[in-house]
């Protein structure tokens, strides 16, 4: 697996807030940063990275192409701009942010352009986000020998995406979990609180450890240094089989989905 298991998410973080979060994270030991063209914070993140003194070879920076830039010409040009904003020679991973199944640009065009960006050295690896089983199969057919580094999807205790996860596991496709904390919902969950008490930890760390123990990468975000530090400690938490079973029982299916923009979301598995 090339994608680091633990990183910092920056969705909804802007201006000085994102600068402070990334700076704190790097000081605490985070080395993977996840952003996107649609987040509007690449330049701020690039500024902090440049000032951090962290050697480039220690960092793993991910960005995502927004649907407005899916045509071949726009994709390549926009990724060059993202690389420039991030003050890097190349990004480590570039994802197609949403499959946009009803969009004007075909998967053949935007995935082909993404592979071209990799060949040009704009990005070291490529992947996708919010792709279903059918769309992953299509992507593999289009890309041929060009590997998919990950599929970044919503996975948390209430939406466990089991069909997709089982398929990905069988096919050797790595998954990255976003919204692993269900936008803070895990903090008030009685089951997760009970497991946390047993381990002397927090519900957030329990949810992150649950995802990590299934082999997913996680990219939680926070604007508070103490929460960033606490999230990082989830890597040291070993949940029991009973803990994992109790969390598995929290599944609520599609009713728990948090990210589902009508204009770009697929027909979910």
Q: Is residue 114 part of a domain?
A: yes
Tell me, what's the pLDDT at 203?
98
Tell me, what's the pLDDT at 27?
98
Render pLDDT for 70-87 as a digit per residue (tens, 0 to 9): 999 999 999 999 999 999
Question: Domain holding 121: CATH number?
Answer: 3.20.20.100
Total domains present in the chain: 1
Q: Is residue 180 part of a domain?
A: no
Render pLDDT for 109-144 as a digit per residue (tens, 0 to 9): 999 999 999 999 999 999 999 999 999 999 999 999
Q: Is residue 55 part of a domain?
A: yes
Separation between Cα atoms, residue 221 and residue 219, nearest integer Å: 7
Separation between Cα atoms, residue 211 and residue 195, nearest integer Å: 15
Tell me, what's the pLDDT at 210?
98
Tell me, what's the pLDDT at 180?
98
Report which secondary-structure segment, H or E, holds 93.
strand 91-96
Tell me, what's the pLDDT at 1?
59
Separation between Cα atoms, residue 92 and residue 29, nearest integer Å: 18
Residue 24 corresponds to which tokens in the numbers above?
């704190």
Q: Is residue 198 part of a domain?
A: no
39 is catalytic: yes
Catalytic, out of 30, 39, 110, 216: 39
Q: How many CA atoms lie within 13 A of 1 on its CB side?
A: 15
Q: How many CA atoms lie within 13 A of 61 on its CB side?
A: 30
Q: Is residue 16 part of a domain?
A: yes
Share of the chain above pLDDT 90, in %: 99
User: Predicted confidence band at 234 (pLDDT cuts at 50, 70, 90)?
Assistant: very high
Separation between Cα atoms, residue 174 and residue 3, nearest integer Å: 8
pLDDT above 70 (res 236)? yes
Structural domain range at position 13: 8-149
Q: Is residue 125 part of a domain?
A: yes
Mean pLDDT along residues 198-221: 98
Q: Is residue 27 part of a domain?
A: yes
Average pLDDT, the chain: 97
Q: Is residue 103 part of a domain?
A: yes
Tell me, what's the pLDDT at 45?
98
Distance from chain centroid for Cα 206: 18
């Amino acid at each position: 697996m090339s994608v680091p298991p633990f990183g910092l998410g920056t969705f909804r973080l802007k201006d000085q807030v994102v600068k402070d979060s990334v700076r704190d994270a790097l000081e605490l030991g985070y080395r993977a940063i996840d952003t996107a063209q649609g987040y509007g914070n690449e330049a701020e993140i690039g500024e902090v990275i440049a000032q951090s003194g962290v050697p480039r070879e220690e960092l793993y920076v991910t960005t995502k192409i927004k649907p407005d830039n899916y045509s071949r010409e726009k994709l390549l040009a926009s990724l060059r701009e993202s690389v420039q904003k991030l003050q890097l020679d190349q990004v480590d991973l570039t994802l197609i942010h949403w499959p946009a199944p009803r969009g004007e640009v075909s998967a053949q065009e935007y995935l082909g352009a993404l592979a071209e960006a990799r060949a040009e050295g704009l990005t070291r690896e490529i992947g996708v986000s919010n792709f279903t089983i059918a769309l992953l199969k299509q992507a593999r057919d289009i890309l041929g020998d060009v590997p998919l580094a990950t599929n970044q999807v919503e996975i948390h205790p209430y939406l466990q995406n089991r069909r997709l996860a089982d398929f990905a596991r069988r096919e050797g496709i790595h998954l990255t979990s976003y919204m692993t904390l269900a936008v803070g919902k895990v903090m008030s969950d009685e089951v997760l609180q009970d497991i946390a008490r047993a381990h002397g930890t927090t519900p957030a760390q329990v949810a992150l450890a649950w995802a990590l123990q299934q082999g997913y990468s996680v990219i939680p975000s926070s604007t508070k240094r103490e929460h960033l530090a606490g999230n990082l400690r989830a890597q040291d938490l070993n949940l029991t089989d009973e803990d994992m079973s109790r969390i598995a029982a929290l599944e609520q299916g599609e009713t728990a989905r948090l990210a589902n923009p009508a204009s770009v979301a697929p027909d979910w598995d």
